[in-house]
Structure 1
């Protein structure tokens, strides 16, 4: 009887290892979630905040990345999608603190925005909002983290 009991325990341990250990590699919401954060995650987060929008393709502008636009009540949010987090970080470093110029050593651009620029980054995307809507700014900060460039209203 004791041998049967030991075999059952060994089987349970082996089954536990098979089903539980693969989950150990999965990241939780608090572990480097921004490594995999992409436009789909951004869309879901914005819809969870109550925004209704359609994602539209847009021509390249400012960054050498795929660009999408969402419009919310006549305001636009630009989403720049990069192939990797490293590429996104490199390009983010070319934006000056005030968000008014981009300089990568080969291309330098100074931009006069129609309102205050706000740049956020997370995972493989940079999100840019030009405006003063504090609800949008606060929601972008909750989703993306503190802005890395641009005008700070606070």
Structure 2
């Protein structure tokens, strides 16, 4: 009987630890998820009024949308997974002015300061100096991974 009790206690403790691990893991994963619709809703919640446009692909080889806020623009690059985002993000240099996939490199001259953010299945690019936009993107995405600092 005593042996059964020790086994039961070990089983219960193992179950509790496993449950805690799964809960923590799910919370961590939810912090790294973001898609186009969620981003749009977060920008609306920050009182932005904007127009969304479909635009042609450019230096990142994926679908691109443009969010136009007054005279400002945020490019939104859409991916199928976080893994694809991470792969493309690694190809953008720290300054945000070069993209290299190992076979070709593209150098870009921006009209202002580039800022690149990533989370979930999107990369966003803002080229400009508007401190409110930069602050709000940082609030949504965390620190930029490339661009002017």
Aligned mate of 2:36, from 29, 34, 39 = 39
- The alpha carbon displacement at 1:48 in A equals 0.5
Secondary structure at the aligned position of 1:80 is classed as: strand
Q: 2:89 aligned with 1:92, yes or no?
A: yes
- The alpha carbon displacement at 1:35 in A equals 4.1
Which residue in the other structure is 1:52 paired with?
A: 49
- The alpha carbon displacement at 1:32 in A equals 1.9
Which residue in the other structure is 1:81 paired with?
A: 78
**Please, what TM-score do these two structures have when normalized by structure 1?**
0.78
Distance 2:30 2:38 in 1: 10
Residue-by-residue CA offset, 1:6-48 (whole Å, 9 max, x unaligned): xxxxxxxxxxxxxxxxxx87x87x5322443101110011000
Larger Rg, first or second structure (1 or 2)? 1
**Where in structure 1 do 4 or more consecutive aligned residues deviate above 4 Å?**
none
Which residue in the other structure is 2:65 paired with?
A: 68
How many residues in Structure 1 have an aligned counterpart in Structure 2? 129
**Please, what TM-score do these two structures have when normalized by structure 2?**
0.81
Q: Which runs of 5+ in 1 are unaligned?
A: 1-23
Distance 1:138 1:33 in 2: 22
Q: Over aligned residue pairs, what C-alpha RMSD do you find? A: 1.9
Residue-by-residue CA offset, 1:103-147 (whole Å, 9 max, x unaligned): 011220111100000000000100000000000000000001100
Q: 2:102 aligned with 1:105, yes or no?
A: yes
Q: Which runs of 5+ in 2 are unaligned?
A: 1-21
